[in-house]
Chains A and B, each alone.
Chain A
Amino acid sequence: GENVEQHPSTLSVQEGDSAVIKCTYSDSASNYFPWYKQELGKGPQLIIDIRSNVGEKKDQRIAVTLNKTAKHFSLHITETQPEDSAVYFCAASRSNTGKLIFGQGTTLQVKP
């Protein structure tokens, strides 16, 4: 079945360093890849997304890259800050199905 693998499960960085989270998807028909940030006890918040017609998208300190051939996509956070500490989820879906398949999540800790 459809599956999304996310690594690492935990990531600890020093403030100011970069953080990279990687995901691999199994369904080659997937064409939409959102990333969510979830703080403790709250619902996930969309932070960035990418569609299969582009290879990279950037929004200030956050960027996402997509390699359709390898079925990989990654989240890059530069100049990390303590408020970036949270659980991050990747997901994948096909257009018009509305069904998101989520990765297992990465707990990011940014040490001041």
Chain B
Amino acid sequence: DGGITQSPKYLFRKEGQNVTLSCEQNLNHDAMYWYRQDPGQGLRLIYYSQIVNDFQKGDIAEGYSVSREKKESFPLTVTSAQKNPTAFYLCASTSPGTSGGETQYFGPGTRLLVL
């Protein structure tokens, strides 16, 4: 898992509740990413940030929000607008490739369950 930590490992959400997933890295990486993983599917990009105070929507951003106030931190909020939030959430950060390409390192993940 390198120097990327995610917390909590398990998170329970009640209907109508917003919850925030934490992602911290000490790798001095500029770019950070949030993915959602559902059973039998690949990873889908929610949001990404290539620099502090800037972020872009990925392929499935609806119902999610992020902030990037510090280089080390990229928290993800799952809002009540996300109607099917049960999934495994993965955070990643990028080390620029030495000859092109971006090597991404992943955290251990947070499993979100709906009560």
Contacts and interface: CB of A to CB of B under 8 A. Distances in A.
Interface string B20-58: 000000000001010000001111110010100000001
Contacts, number: 77
Most buried by A among B44, B50, B100: B100
Contacts of A99: 45, 48, 58
A31 B102 CA distance: 10
B103 A43 contact: no
A95 B100 contact: yes
Interface string A50-78: 01110000000000000000000000000
Interface in B85-110: 90, 94, 97, 99-109
Contacts of A95: 97, 100-102
Interface of A: 4, 6, 9, 31-32, 34, 36, 41-46, 49, 51-53, 89, 93, 95-100, 102-105
Contacts of B99: 51, 53
Interface of B: 1, 4, 6, 31, 33, 40-45, 48, 50, 58, 90, 94, 97, 99-109, 111
Nearest to A93: B102
14 contacts: A42-B1, A42-B108, A44-B43, A44-B90, A45-B106, A46-B105, A51-B100, A93-B101, A96-B102, A100-B104, A102-B44, A103-B42, A104-B42, A105-B40
